[in-house]
Amino acid sequence: MKKGISISESLRQHQLLIRMAIPCAHFIGTDKSVFEAGIMCPSSMLPSPSPLILTQDELKKLAAYKAVEFVESGMVLGLGTGSTAKHAVDRIGELLRQGKLKNIVGIPTSKKTHEQALSLGIPLSDLDSHPVVDLAIDGADEVDPHLNLVKGRGGSLLREKMIEGACKKFIVIVDESKLVPYIGGSGLAMPVEIIPFCWKFTADRLQDMFEEFGCVAKLRTFGELKKPFVTDNGNYVVDLYLKKDLGDLKTASDSILRLPGVVEHGMFIDMATTVIIASEMGVTLKNK
């Protein structure tokens, strides 16, 4: 046992490794909604000697490791951004070091992921050199019953949408806390990337556009001085907080994108091909 690690913590790590080792790929399905029926690796399959309550980060790791099982040597990969996607990138780097994956090319969705991938020795490129991506793996802030997503609370929505929109297969990895009845249903931010010029004018127009849905638009800031958050592309983010279901998401999307000053929004509509959900009951996979 490593110095400083208690017996209980050592047992916990061992049990988590057991859960990640359970083969579940054959449970992929396209039938009833995962929110109604679900296709799971049930807890009865897990050879745990005692009940184990996983942390949210451990659930994210379960989903991430399952997604990486779809990665094959020779692939061009979209590398996601965020706390869940970080586990997937770490795992890809580990498999490359072990020689279990070869000839991988990664296209990072943010500067942060670019730095992480470089530190792991993952060869990198971009969409100019590889306009078609074999597989992208990324997290999401919300997943609705139709596998539509909210992404971008980490601020990388534009690059994520560009890369994940160019991939043949887009696997989304989440823990069960990200499941919502409708887009915006968590009550948390639905981000919109905008240019800095006259940002308040743009934010006011966004709020007015969705007034009937109880929308409140707030400029994303950070630190004690409340400075505007700046994306990797030099833009600002306005977060929309919704109290009601937007209904037709494609109509809402078109309305946002027609507004001068808007660069992109965080609704990823009909983009995910597979969603992997980790919960205390196991790992669930849902296909489009």
DSSP 149-196: EE--TTS-HHHHHHHHTTEEEEEEEEEGGGB-SSTTTTSS-EEEEE-S
Instruction: Name the band, by pLDDT with cuts 50, 70 and 90, for residue 13.
Output: low
Q: What is the pLDDT of residues 98-144, one digit of tens each?
A: 999 999 999 999 999 999 999 999 999 999 999 999 999 999 999 99
Write the CA distances from 281 to 19, 175, 176, 284, integer angstroms.
10, 11, 10, 9
Q: What was the pLDDT predicted at 134? A: 98
Residue tagged active-site, from 160, 164, 176, 264: 160
Instruction: Name the band, by pLDDT with cuts 50, 70 and 90, for residue 281.
Output: confident
Q: What was the pLDDT predicted at 9? A: 56
Q: What was the pLDDT predicted at 11? A: 43
Average pLDDT, the chain: 88
Q: What is the pLDDT of residues 27-42, one digit of tens each?
A: 434 344 444 444 444 4
Contact between 55 and 29 (Cβ < 8 Å): no
44 has a pLDDT exceeding 50: no
Q: What was the pLDDT predicted at 53? A: 80
pTM of the model: 0.83
172 has a pLDDT exceeding 80: yes
Q: What is the pLDDT of residues 175-231, one digit of tens each?
A: 999 999 999 999 999 999 999 999 999 999 999 999 999 999 999 999 999 999 999
Write the CA distances from 233 to 110, 160, 196, 267, integer angstroms.
10, 12, 11, 18
Query: Known catalytic residue: 69?
Result: no
**What is the C-alpha separation between 145 and 166, in angstroms, rounded?**
23
